[in-house]
């Protein structure tokens, strides 16, 4: 069983950030790193631009770690002397189809005629399929699904499952992502190792890249251990600090096992009878034991439509607890609805925009701009060049 393929990487990142805050970290949203600060020839901080207020500011530190994924090389090149490229970027896409088009009961993988392997993962009433692996040049932010990518995956599925006949018009949604792989001369995209690597520049910038989602805590531990080692040698401290990361549970996860999750869902079903089993289960799967806060918000709303009440409560929760500032934040980077429930995005886009207008004090013009930006994301997820 490939349990990790059920991971929602947006939620993983969000709960990681919230957990780090609980342990004393300070975090910023929509703050763009524009330069590296140096003192005595060594990196000592970053210059930032707040994309919302327009303010420029500086953050100082003894060490700067660059963990910017596919943007690692761009940050390294702010380091003046660094010119070489360390990363080989590759693009991977996934497509989403109705579950009945490919009704697999568990995550499965199958080989393709070109030697690669592809996964199909069931999630509620959809199945998503991926991934491709092609060389990519350009800004990772601009990556999008192309028609040839979709055709490749459909052909692979139809060949592997003789009774399945998926067509391009059956695709509900899609997404594209960029892998920050370590450069290896003479190797194709699929042949490059998924190993991670730490680079330290002459001016002391620490960069980490490569690796896979399943190894991110070990990557982080290695990086932090290195920083502590550098700090110790600089200050003459010999006592080694032990990492506690392995024992730290995420924010929202008070459960000992899957049985405890089932018990929590059953208790909520008993306490909040106006919402159905599927609605509660979906919230728990997304927010863990934070679900009760959302249900408390929803219970007090006057609407008779339970789906609308829950959506409004989610919006409030994500604005108050998860730094949501745009419609795209909510529909893509907090809830994944654009990919896993695109119908709910299309059905409730204007309602959610109106709700966010209320909470974030948008003007009507701002709200219309937000709707247009979200509509563009819908077009990217559903329209293939």
The domain ranges of the chain are 67-251, 258-382
**Long-range contacts of the stretch 67-73 (C-beta < 8 A, 24+):** 67/207, 67/208, 67/220, 67/223, 68/33, 69/140, 69/178, 69/180, 69/209, 70/140, 70/178, 70/179, 70/180, 71/140, 72/180, 72/207, 72/208, 72/209
pLDDT of res. 1: 66
Compute mean pLDDT per 10 residues along the chain, 385 residues long, and list them: 78 95 95 95 96 96 96 92 86 97 93 90 94 93 95 96 96 96 82 88 94 91 93 78 86 93 97 96 96 97 93 98 97 96 97 98 98 97 90
Whether the Cβ atoms of residue 93 and residue 175 lie closer than 8 Å to each other: yes
Name the region of 188 (left: φ>0; alpha: ψ -120 to 50; beta: rest).
beta
Whether the Cβ atoms of residue 93 and residue 174 lie closer than 8 Å to each other: yes
Q: How far apart are CA 179 and CA 140, in angstroms?
A: 9
Class of 258-382 in CATH:
mainly alpha
Q: How far apart are CA 79 and CA 75, in angstroms?
A: 7
Q: How far apart are CA 309 and CA 307, in angstroms?
A: 5
Q: How far apart are CA 172 and CA 103, in angstroms?
A: 15
258-382 matches 67-251 in CATH topology: no
Q: How far apart are CA 204 and CA 41, in angstroms?
A: 9
Q: Residue 125 is encoded by which pair of tokens?
A: 């009433």
pLDDT of res. 331: 98
pLDDT of res. 156: 95
Whether the Cβ atoms of residue 252 and residue 287 lie closer than 8 Å to each other: yes
Q: Is 332 helix (H, G, I), strand (E, B) or coil?
A: helix
Q: Taking the alpha carbons of 74, 76, 80, 83 in that order, is the dihedral positive or negative?
A: negative
- Give me the phi and psi of 121, to 5 degrees please: -125, 120
Q: How far apart are CA 226 and CA 206, in angstroms?
A: 9
pLDDT of res. 2: 67
Q: Taking the alpha carbons of 357, 358, 363, 364 in that order, is the dihedral positive or negative?
A: positive
Question: 65-66 and 206-210: which strand pairing?
Answer: parallel
**3-state percent helix, strand, coil for the chain, nearest multiple of 5:** 45, 20, 35
**pTM attached to this predicted model:** 0.93
Strands (E), the chain: 31-39, 42-50, 56-60, 65-66, 87-98, 108-111, 117-123, 126-130, 134-135, 173-182, 196-200, 206-210
Name the region of 204 (left: φ>0; alpha: ψ -120 to 50; beta: rest).
left
Q: Which CATH number fits domain 67-251: 3.30.9, 3.30.43, 3.30.1490, 2.20.200?
A: 3.30.9
């Amino acid at each position: 069983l490939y349990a990790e393929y059920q991971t929602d990487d947006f939620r993983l990142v969000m709960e990681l950030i919230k957990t780090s805050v609980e342990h004393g970290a300070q975090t910023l949203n929509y703050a763009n790193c524009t330069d590296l600060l140096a003192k005595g020839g060594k990196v000592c901080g970053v210059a930032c631009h707040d994309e919302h207020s327009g303010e420029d500011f500086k953050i100082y530190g003894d060490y700067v770690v660059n963990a910017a994924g596919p943007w690692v090389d761009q940050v390294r090149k702010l380091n003046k002397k660094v010119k070489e490229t360390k990363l080989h970027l590759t693009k991977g896409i996934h497509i989403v189809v109705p579950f009945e088009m490919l009704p697999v009961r568990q995550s499965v993988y199958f080989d393709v005629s070109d030697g690669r392997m592809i996964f199909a993962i069931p999630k509620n009433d959809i199945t998503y399929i991926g991934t491709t692996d092609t060389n990519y040049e350009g800004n990772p932010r601009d990556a999008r699904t192309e028609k040839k990518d979709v055709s490749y995956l459909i052909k692979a599925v139809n060949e592997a499952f003789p009774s399945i006949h998926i067509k391009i018009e059956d695709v509900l949604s899609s997404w594209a992502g960029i892998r920050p792989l370590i450069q290896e001369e003479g190797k194709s995209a699929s042949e490059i190792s998924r190993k991670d690597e730490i680079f330290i520049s002459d001016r002391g910038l620490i960069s980490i890249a490569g690796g896979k989602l399943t190894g991110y805590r070990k990557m982080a531990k290695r990086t932090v251990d290195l920083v502590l080692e550098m700090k110790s040698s600089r200050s003459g401290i010999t006592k080694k600090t032990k990492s506690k990361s392995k024992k730290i549970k995420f924010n929202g996860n008070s459960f000992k096992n899957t049985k405890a999750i089932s018990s929590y869902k059953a208790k909520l079903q008993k306490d909040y009878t106006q919402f159905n089993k599927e609605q509660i289960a979906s919230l728990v799967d997304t927010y863990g034991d934070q679900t009760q806060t959302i249900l408390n918000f929803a219970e007090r709303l006057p609407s008779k439509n339970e789906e609308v009440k829950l959506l409004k409560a989610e919006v409030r929760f994500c604005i108050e607890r998860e730094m949501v500032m745009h419609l795209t934040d909510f529909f893509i980077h907090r809830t994944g609805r654009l990919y896993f429930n695109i119908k709910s995005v299309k059905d409730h886009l204007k309602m959610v925009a109106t709700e966010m207008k209320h909470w974030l004090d948008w003007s009507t013009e701002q709200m219309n701009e937000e709707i247009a930006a979200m509509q563009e994301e819908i077009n990217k997820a559903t329209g293939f060049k």
